[in-house]
Structure 1
Amino acid sequence: MKHDGSRKIHLFLLLVIIAVFIWSAIKPASYLTWALEVSPAVVGLIIVITIYYRFRFTTLSYVIMAVLAILMFIGGHYIYSKVPLFDWIKDTYDLKRNHYDRFGHLLKGLFAIVLREILLRKTPLTKGTWLFAIVVSMSLAIAALYEIIEWLVSKISKGGEASKNFLGIQGDIWDTQWDMLYSLTGSIVALLIFSKLHDKLLKKEIRTSNAQH
């Protein structure tokens, strides 16, 4: 029954993601920018659905993936630098930029939990300092790779409007460094806060998987 309950939660998360995706695709600020922003989440979603019955993540990991997908769909719909709530925060507190992009990179640090789960279940690594260090390093590497992809898109499109929106620099020459720093910080905080809960959920998931086989 517990397993059925988990599947219902996973299905609910999937339906929420699909609903937000459909909303994001309706009259976005720019269809090209939208496609660039949401494509990583869509590809990730397809992979996760495809392997669901072969490798089922913990519900915590699925919640994190859902949050990150929704984050990208919202950013793709409005353009990260023009998300209304963060425009309001910018105006209210007289900030120099819309911080949705920064907020997004901080939350992307949550993906460290998903990486932690893959390593614990698919490699000889065990809980401890080395696992923490490797997960944080992988999170930073992914953040750096994403920045390289943004740079390549900008070069290929020769600095067009879509690439400028995709980059979302907002006049900050250190934007790339700030993005990676926020992702790094987010991954460290995520591991410190959620690792114990993750361990408990991992035990339940592994026990359920073993019982099925």
Structure 2
Amino acid sequence: MKKLRRDKNKTLHLFLLLVVTAVFIWSVIKPAGYLIWILEVSPAVIGLMIVLATYNKFRLTNLSYIIITILAIMMFVGGHYTYSKVPLFNWAKDIFHFNRNHYDRFGHFLKGLFVIVIREILLRKTPITKGYWLLVIATSISLAIASLYEIIEWLSSKITREGKITKSFLGMQGDIWDAQWDMSLTLVGTILALLILSKLHNRLLKKFK
């Protein structure tokens, strides 16, 4: 039974890896710009390399791998088109008369899902147990990562000093409060992920004990 479960898990993990690889290959073919592509996809590539390098030593739950896959795909799509020009969200902008392409906002909201991966690492690798402090620390780390990403965007804009590339990477679209919106949406996504997925996550974690 355990062997069968392990085989099913490995099949799922291989499938997720193939999907991510396919999207990655697609994203690198004629992107909006190769420098902006590198800036946008680098965090996802580094994260995936860490996941692959630690796969045999520290196996995550299927939920965590699915979340990592979703976030990587989201970043590869954003890197291909740039976050302010993703076609589906341009269509939504025209249909609903939005004042901007909201893929960037949607992406930062989705990044709140990463709190489940953080939660898993805290529960399995630290003395922290389920309860109030787990919620507080996991949420704080999620927000810290979101803030660090905004700082990296700002530093990159200062270093490159290439107007078009800087604007595409920052994705501000004229909103001076863009960084605050991004971090706020990550917070909302984090809270919702903890509320909706924690019970499922707990059931999956039991299999590792």
Q: For this structure pair, what is the TM-score category when the shorter chain's length is used for normalisation?
A: over 0.9
Query: Partner amino acid for 1:63?
Result: I
Report the Cα distance in structure 2 between the residues aligned to 1:151 and 1:192, rounded to whole angstroms.
32
Corresponding residue for 1:75?
Answer: 78
1:95: which partner in 2? 98
Unaligned runs of 5+ in 2: none
TM-score (norm 1): 0.96
1:123 correspondence with 2:129: no
Alpha-carbon distance in 2 for matches of 1:7, 1:129: 33
Q: Distance in 2 between matches of 1:158 and 1:19?
A: 32
Secondary structure of 1:81's aligned partner: helix
Separation of aligned partners in 1, 2:168 and 2:138:
30
Q: Percent identity?
A: 67
Aligned to 2:25: 22
Q: 2:158 aligns with which of 155, 160, 168?
A: 155
Matched residues, number: 206
1:164 to partner: Cα distance = 1.2
Match of 1:31 among 20, 31, 34: 34
Distance in 2, Cα, partners of 1:153 & 1:163: 8
Shift of 1:183: 0.4
Deviations 1:62-106 (A, max 9, x none): 000000000000000000000000000000011100000000000
Please say if 1:178 is aligned against 2:181.
Answer: yes
- Residue equivalent to 1:104: 107
The counterpart of 1:44, out of the listed 33, 42, 47, is 47
| Cα distance in 2 for residues equivalent to 1:69 and 1:82 | 18
- Give the superposition deviation at 1:159: 4.4
What is the rounded CA distance, in whole Å, between the counterparts of 1:163 and 1:173 in structure 2?
14
Task: List 4+ stretches of structure 1 deviating above 2 A.
Answer: none
Normalised by the length of structure 2, the TM-score is 0.97
CA distance in 1, matches of 2:152, 2:127: 31
Residues 97-123 of structure 1 show CA distances to partners (whole Å, capped at 9, x for unaligned) of 000000000000000000000000000
Q: Pairwise CA RMSD of aligned residues?
A: 0.6
- Measured after TM superposition, the shift of residue 192 of structure 1 is 0.4
1:211 corresponds to: none
Taking the TM superposition and a 5 Å limit, the aligned residue runs for 1:190-209 are 190-204=193-207, 206-207=208-209
Aligned to 2:68: 65
